[in-house]
Amino acid sequence: APTRVPIGTSSDLQVGQNVFAIGNPFGLDWTLTKGIVSALDRSLPNENGPDIRHLIQTDAAVNPGNSGGPLLDSAGRLIGINTAIYSPSGASAGISFAVPVDTVMRVVPQLIANGRYTRPALGIESDEEINDRLKRASGIDGVFILSVEPGSAAERVGLVGVQRTRRGILPGDVIVALNSRPVSRLGDLLARLDDFQVGQKVQLTLLRAGEERNVSVELQPGI
């Protein structure tokens, strides 16, 4: 029987380490190419849904036919699934992206069992464009909560969105870190949440009226 590829981890990858891609570029079976990890935690836009986050960027030669093939470390362990390339010509330009194996191992069992993947969420609303404007105006680096969903995990722990009063608009809470890891934009926060599963608890560091506080939130099902 064929030997199974050992499963590695993507949690301790380092920029500069060697990686190997196996695929079927242009119909050429079992092609092996070598490269290095060029960057971590990359994001790509997705026309059909949320951005694809947490990607591994490599300079291994990846071409049409490599998608879905394994990305291996120097010990032959699976660390990612080759997914996309950046190329104006459609051929390899030395910029390729892979979904980390830790993401694969979290998402695929849900897909097999339920036919869909449920993202963890806090139950807040924010907006990247509005967030950028508020950051520039306030000088605060974080995710500004615009509103809190009724009955959500965020509401249960007292998170506050923007409020309209007779005196004008009062700013809501600003999330500046998740489990002590700084977040400066909505994309950062969503990427951090993807490390967890529905029902797990995370600690948020907030700014409210200029004062820092920490709250623990149990993640709810998102979209």
| Cβ–Cβ < 8 Å for 85, 58 | no
Report pLDDT digits (tens) over 118-175.
989 999 999 989 999 999 989 999 999 999 999 999 999 999 998 877 777 788 999 9
On the 0-12 / 13-18 / 19+ scale of CB atoms within 10 A, 14 is exposed
Instruction: Assign 188 a pLDDT band (cuts: 50, 70, 90).
Output: confident
DSSP string, 142-178: SEE--EE-TTSHHHHTT----EEETTEEEP--EEEEE
Mean pLDDT of 31-56: 87
Tokens of residue 192, six digits: 């951090």
Closest by CA position to 60, among listed 25, 110, 89: 25
- Asked whether 198 and 220 are in contact (CB, 8 A), the reply is yes
CATH of region 120-221, choose from 2.30.42.10, 2.40.30.40, 2.60.60.20, 1.10.10.10: 2.30.42.10
pLDDT at 91 over 70: no
* Amino acid at the residue 50: P
**pTM, entire model:** 0.74
What does the block give as tokens for 222?
């998102």
SS3 70: strand
Higher pLDDT: 166 or 222? It is 222
Q: What is the mean pLDDT of the chain?
A: 91
Quick one: average pLDDT of 77-82? 98
Query: Which part of the chain is CATH 2.30.42.10?
Result: 120-221
pLDDT at 58 over 70: yes
State in words which class domain 18-114 has: mainly beta
Check residue 46 and give its pLDDT: 77
8 A C-beta contact, residue 130 and residue 169:
no
Residue ranges matching CATH 2.40.10.10 in the chain: 18-114
- pLDDT of the residue at 44: 87
Residue 150 CB: number of other CB atoms within 10 A?
7
Instruction: Name the token pair of 168.
Output: 């004008």
Residue 51 has pLDDT above 80, yes or no: no
Q: Average pLDDT in the 1-25 region?
A: 94
